[in-house]
Amino acid sequence: MEKLKAISLFCGCGGADLGLTGGFTYLGKWYPSTGINVIHSSDIDAKAVKTYNSNFKHEAHTADVHDLVFKRYSADIVMGGFPCQSFSTVNPTKRPEDKKNQLFWQLARVVEQVYPKVFIGENVKGFYTLKNGFYFHLAKEEFERIGYRVYHRLVNASDFGVPQKRERLIIIGVRKSVKNNFSFPDPSHGNGKYSKAVLKQVIDSLEPENPKYYFSKRAVEGVKKAKPNMKRALAQNLDDQCLTITSHLAKVSLNSRDPVLLVDREKELYRRFTPREAARIQSFPDNFMFDGSEGDAYRQIGNAVPPVMMWHQARALVRQIFK
């Protein structure tokens, strides 16, 4: 079979694209090529695009999705993990009712222009649940209007070998003229199959090489003064999956719901994850490099789609729709 062609919108640093194309190793397992080639990738974040271009042979471009036109493009797949801040349950300034924050309209516009056999959308759980699913159904109706059968599922990355409890909405659209239906892949880990990946598999040592990752004594004292009913200093169990990591990893606080590591209980030593540890938690292979400052890396990692999770969805698509 000839290589399938894909367009990637909102590509960020490339987590979803790495999963879409395959050809990488994570936790000693080889994830082979899916047979998909990315022919266009773009994002508005220039720093994320720089990271992308350090890790892929094909080049991504810095662009605002509103300015993109694809009338002369031919592709089998259009993918877009449209930005989700307006639908995040932890964002107090969200304004989902503002149409310019509803970037699924731009994904739909490109899908209508290219008219691929398949599109892939990804977003936070809040996009599915907010206002009783109002925004999700708005998007679903638009994709159906332009000619697609829409399949959706809340997928937990930990069910697919990622050491993180990260639940995301995956939307798959199959052009109505395509006879094959799509079924989401069953979990590859847990339920008597492979054991779920756990945090200790990606943490080489609790004690960091650089002491800058420790929280200050002042921060620890602040946590001790917090009300007992408030969830604070969420030290992660190394024998379990990590809680969801976010784009503000550089500003992780003990006085929040951010996952952290407890190095020494008696000495009250807590620390944040290093960028490489955070990347591993997201299932990036160790040879994936992040450009820019540590703050840039943390943001790119936290915003990314776990490559391993996306690889399983892409492989199912190829086997079911393009066989």
Q: Provide the annotated active-site residues.
A: 84
26 — phi, psi (to 5°)? -145, 130
* CB 24 within 8 Å of CB 312: no
Q: What is the number of other CB atoms lying within 10 angstroms of the CB of residue 195?
A: 9
8 Å CB contact between 137 and 96 = no
Strands 77-80 and 4-9 come out as: parallel
CA angle 208, 156, 6 (to 5 degrees): 100
Tokens of 88: 């995040």
* Spatial contact of 15 and 297, defined as CB atoms under 8 Å apart: no
Neighbours of 21 (CB within 10 A): 27
Neighbouring C-beta atoms of residue 309, cutoff 10 Å: 28
CA dist., res. 156 & res. 165, Å (int): 6
Give the sign of the dihedral formed by CA 54, CA 42, CA 89, CA 111: negative
- CA 133/CA 118 separation, integer angstroms: 23
CA nearest neighbour of 40 among 17, 67, 66, 24: 17
Phi-psi region of 15 (alpha: psi -120 to 50; beta: other; left: phi over 0): alpha
